[in-house]
Amino acid sequence: MRRMLALYAAGVYLFLHLPLAILAASASTPRGLRCGRVFR
Amino acid sequence: MRTIRNIFLAPSALVMLLLVAAPMAIVLYYSLLTRGVYGGVEWPLTLENWRRLADPLYLHILARTAALAAAATALCLVLGFPLALFISRAGPRKNLYLYLVILPFWTSFLVRTYAWMFLLRETGVINAALMGLGLIREPLGMLYTPGAVLVGLVYGHLPFMVLPLYAALERMDRSLLEAAADLGARPWQAALRVLVPLAAPGIRAGSVLVFIPCLGAYLTPDLLGGSKTVMAGNLIQNQFTQARDWPFGSAAALALMAIILTLLVAWVRREKEPLL
């Protein structure tokens, strides 16, 4: 029961953090970094 | 004593009068005016804007808004309840897990919504992954659908559900669950008959905190729903910007507010206890 709850919570945390993590990762690609230079 | 109370209440009463009552009165007045030829407002006073709200087109938008807000609230509850239960039983790591729930809030709501656009679009990560795995041949049209709006609403409002639920579950006496088990209740029976009733104040507060902002949501349906999934917030915004029909926009805004207030008052009367 406790393990299932932890697994479920991990899934919800993934749902909460994955979109932003992917967005952050895309900003670190060469193209993302080129776009980032615009803000300097 | 009463005079002192009135003196202390006066500043807040003044703020409420200036920042709540006065703007509401202006909006109500505008809702009774007529739209001018060039988008302004003019006399005569009329109830036509309120009558237009009964048009099937607008009733359909209101019904869709209510359905999406209710679905988002239900999904937040389904996702948030086990998470809140997990956090309340996490011992010394409780604060870390709570912190992880709040962490996405450190970024702008706009950025979080754009993250979902990045994931759901035809050239997005989800479609690329599914095509890479050979599960689909053509990209799925996930963006600009009611489903995308629902995901965005749930994502944006989940912490509002988790935090009150956590507060309710944290206060709960865990020996009651052990007593239920000793008396022969199976885990799901104990959850339904002990856990859920004891967490009811948190469920109520979380549902209100999610349902009301979802009813008035404007940015999420605008970015993730496009022109296909218009919600009440978009309808009101369109009247004030593109349609330049301020009287109808005011009537729609007040109608939405009246619906929310009616629901809240009915709920409070039924429950016979403070809402939050």
Is the Cβ–Cβ distance between B146 and B234 less than 8 Å?
Answer: no
The kind and range of the H/E element at B35 are strand B34-35
3-state secondary structure of B95: helix
Q: Which residues numbered 66-85 in B keep a CB inside 8 Å of some CB on A?
A: 79-80, 82-83, 85
In this predicted structure, the answer to whether residue A35 has a pLDDT above a threshold of 70 is: no
For residue range B148-165, list pLDDT tens digits in order. 999 999 999 999 999 999
Distance CA B249, CA B241 (A): 10
Q: B54: which 2 tokens?
A: 């009964």
Q: Which of A20, A22, A26 to mutate to test the interface with B (most CBs of B within 10 A)?
A: A20
Distance CA B52, CA B59 (A): 10
Q: Name the range with the highest mean pLDDT among A21-35, B31-45, B111-125.
A: B111-125
For residue range B76-85, list pLDDT tens digits in order. 999 999 999 9
For residue range B128-138, list pLDDT tens digits in order. 888 888 888 88
Residue of A nearest to B125 (CA): A22
Q: B51: which 2 tokens?
A: 């009558």
For B44-271, CATH gives 1.10.3720.10
Which DSSP state fits B92? G
Q: B123: which 2 tokens?
A: 């050239």
3-state secondary structure of B45: coil
Mark B141-178 as b/e (b = at least 16 C-beta within 10 Å). Answer: ebbbbbebbbbbbbbbbbbbbbbbbbbbbeebeeeebe
Q: B130: which 2 tokens?
A: 């599914």
Instruction: Share the mean pLDDT of chain B.
Output: 87
What pLDDT shows up at residue B150? Answer: 94
Distance CA B103, CA B129 (A): 26
Of A5, A15, A23, the CB nearest to B85: A5
Distance CA B155, CA B157 (A): 6
Is the Cβ–Cβ distance between B275 and B204 less than 8 Å?
Answer: yes
Distance CA B47, CA B50 (A): 5
Is the Cβ–Cβ distance between B156 and B113 less than 8 Å?
Answer: yes
Is the Cβ–Cβ distance between B255 and B53 less than 8 Å?
Answer: yes
What pLDDT shows up at residue B122? Answer: 85
For residue range B56-72, list pLDDT tens digits in order. 888 888 888 999 999 99
